[in-house]
Amino acid sequence: MRVLAISGSLRAGSLHTRLLRTAAAHAPAGVEVEVYDGLAAIPPYDEDAEAGGAPAPVAALREAIRAADAVIVATPEYNGTIPGQLKNALDWVSRPLATNPLRGKPVGVVGGSTGLFGAVWAQADLRKVLGILGADVAEEELVLPTLDEALHPEHGLVEDEHRAAFAAVLAALHARAAGAPALAA
């Protein structure tokens, strides 16, 4: 199974991107995780620009999503919601709504914050947006308060419960992509 991993953070030292790279390094057998790194190149959504065809970075993102069996999105929380650049990319990907590459695609949502709230508002908003686009959003989640402490720079997630929650998200995506019910991790 091929999973496209999208970080909602543009920062070079992003904890969310590092979290996804950890997933790629520790993916279960048979699961390949590709971390998408083109979010910063997506231009602001403009319906007039869309009429002329999707810009190359948008077309590349759409194709990467189409080619994946599942998608996992790691979102930070900015001002109580998902980052603007992530929402902008989803706006581009959503067009046309009836045939967008996320429609029916298994998608997992994970995220965290350096505070105690763990980006729960951003994750809820992201689930809402993905649901509107027709994605098959997994119920399993990974909420990471104090992400800067929960994610070791070299060894990934520190706590067993966080590793188990992340494994449950990947297992749910695998099951959804295979058309089978999710198994307990």
In this structure, what CATH number is given to the domain that contains residue 96? Answer: 3.40.50.360
In a domain, 184, yes or no: no
In a domain, 167, yes or no: yes
Q: Looking at the domain assignment, is residue 127 inside a domain?
A: yes
Confirm whether 42 is domain-assigned.
yes
pLDDT at 70: 97
The structure tokens listed for 71 are 């998608």
Work out how many domains the chain is built from and give that number.
1
Q: Digits of tens for pLDDT over the chain (185 positions)?
A: 999 999 999 999 999 999 999 887 777 788 899 999 999 999 999 999 889 889 999 999 999 999 999 999 999 999 999 999 999 999 999 999 999 999 999 999 999 999 988 899 999 999 999 999 999 999 999 999 999 999 988 888 999 999 889 989 999 999 999 986 555 44
pTM of the model: 0.93
Integer Cα distance of 9 and 39 in angstroms: 8
pLDDT of residue 23: 81
User: Amino acid letter at 102?
Assistant: L
Q: Is residue 185 part of a domain?
A: no
φ, ψ of residue 53 in degrees (nearest 5): 105, 155
Closest CA to 4 of 63, 83, 86, 76: 63
What domain range is 107 assigned to? Answer: 2-178
110 found inside a domain: yes
Place of tokens 């763990």: 118
85 within some domain: yes
Q: Which residues touch 125 (CB under 8 Å, ≥6 apart)? A: 81, 82
